[in-house]
């Protein structure tokens, strides 16, 4: 159940009740593709104020597989995370397998990127898998097209996504798992409107905006995210998939979206890139080797409280694993702080100033 608490312009402050906890929105979901947010323990995620994490059906299906996760008592026990988990359907990963997948009206057959073994995704099977492992939010199987794409390819994506959503809606049965549909259509306004209309008619608990952050310009992404969000029910959560920079997150909230995910904060952390309130920093910069200030003086995370830029620069140069861990923690903490400050600004009617 989603409760809309406050609005300021199109920005929304809400509360999403899931089986494992209540999630305050706007909210960023760190990506834990293979049942782990790279480099961070569940305790560290909690300490960084993470509310919900994302895992991926495609990767978990292949390894360790449904049987192992069920035997462990479900995904939450398997990865020792007691908060909510959203699982992506794996559709994006499958459709990225150029030359290794075969699509038909019933589903998609693909070869594993791990060992070449053949697997089959259907809308029903993907929902069943996510329910079986105990996901709090299960995404339906959709067809994502890399941009730029022809109108014919986009129209076929919308047709199959809607057809599969109807089947997913019928297959969904667990009261512990909420099922979200995914709007497709690329940058085509007419197809986006068609996709949203057909999915809203199915009355899902929530809706995602998919098919963006796949090659279009930032301006096109923002415009499409805004217009698509306006087509979705105000009383249900809206999830813009695949955004994670500070700039994109603020713009996405301004477009009227509530949930976000991206590998960006942890990928930056693993590669020596720090997200700060003053912009991004590359710790390999020679200037930092004798800079004994924190990564971000305005941040209260444990990395900034205990370690300096010089020390982080040393760790990365020495290829010590602690460096990527400390920086990943800081980046996740900073994005979560951004979300908390955004919620406060919306509730206070101060969003325009905060956005600027």
pLDDT band at 214 (very low <50, low <70, confident <90, very high): confident
Give CATH for domain 2-262. 3.20.20.105
> Cα–Cα distance between 349 and 6 in angstroms, integer?
9
Average pLDDT over residues 322-344: 98
Q: How far apart are CA 226 and CA 230, in angstroms?
A: 6
73: helix, coil or strand?
coil
Residue 92: is its pLDDT beyond 90?
A: no
State pLDDT tens for residues 39-56: 999 999 999 999 999 999
Instruction: Sketch the domain layout of the chain as residue ranges.
Output: 2-262, 263-356
**pTM score, two decimals?**
0.97
Active site residues: 88, 261
Is residue 293 predicted with pLDDT exceeding 90? yes
pLDDT at 98: 81
List C-alpha distances in Å: 203 to 125, 137, 144, 178, 179. 20, 15, 21, 12, 10
Residue 91 has pLDDT above 90, yes or no: no
Distance CA 297, CA 29 (A): 24
Across all residues in the chain, what is the average pLDDT? 97
Burial class (CB in 10 A: 0-12, 13-18, 19+), 329: buried
Q: Which residues pair with 250 in a beta bridge?
A: none
């Amino acid at each position: 159940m989603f409760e809309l608490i406050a609005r300021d312009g199109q920005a929304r402050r809400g509360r999403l009740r899931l089986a494992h906890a209540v999630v305050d929105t706007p909210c960023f979901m760190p990506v834990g593709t293979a049942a782990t947010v790279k480099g961070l323990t569940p305790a560290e995620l909690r300490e960084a104020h993470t509310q919900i994490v994302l895992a991926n059906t495609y990767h978990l299906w292949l390894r360790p597989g449904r049987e192992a996760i069920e035997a462990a008592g479900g995904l939450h026990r398997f990865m020792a995370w007691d908060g909510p988990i959203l699982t992506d359907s794996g559709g994006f990963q499958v459709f990225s397998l150029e030359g290794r997948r075969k699509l038909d009206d019933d589903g998609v057959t693909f070869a594993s990127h791990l060992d070449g073994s053949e697997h089959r995704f259907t809308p029903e099977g993907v929902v069943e898998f996510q329910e079986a492992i105990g996901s709090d939010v299960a995404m339906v199987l959709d067809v994502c097209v890399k941009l730029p794409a022809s109108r014919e390819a986009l129209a076929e994506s919308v047709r199959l996504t809607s057809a599969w959503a109807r089947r997913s809606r019928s297959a969904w049965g667990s009261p512990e798992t909420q099922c979200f549909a995914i709007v497709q259509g690329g940058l085509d306004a007419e197809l986006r409107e068609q996709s949203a209309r057909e999915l809203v008619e199915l009355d899902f608990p929530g809706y995602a905006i998919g098919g963006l952050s796949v090659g279009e310009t930032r301006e096109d992404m923002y415009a499409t995210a805004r217009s698509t969000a306006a087509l979705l029910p105000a009383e249900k959560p809206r999830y813009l998939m695949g955004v994670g920079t500070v700039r994109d997150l603020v713009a996405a909230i301004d477009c009227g979206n509530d949930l976000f995910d991206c590998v960006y904060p942890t990928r930056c952390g693993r590669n020596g890139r720090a997200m700060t309130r003053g912009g991004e920093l590359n710790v390999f910069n020679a200037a930092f080797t004798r800079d004994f200030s924190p990564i971000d003086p305005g941040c209260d995370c444990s990395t900034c409280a205990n370690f300096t830029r010089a020390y982080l620069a040393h760790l990365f140069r020495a290829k010590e694993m602690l460096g990527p861990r400390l920086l990943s923690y800081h980046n996740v903490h900073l994005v979560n702080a951004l979300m908390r400050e955004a919620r406060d600004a919306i509730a206070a009617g101060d969003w325009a100033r905060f956005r600027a």
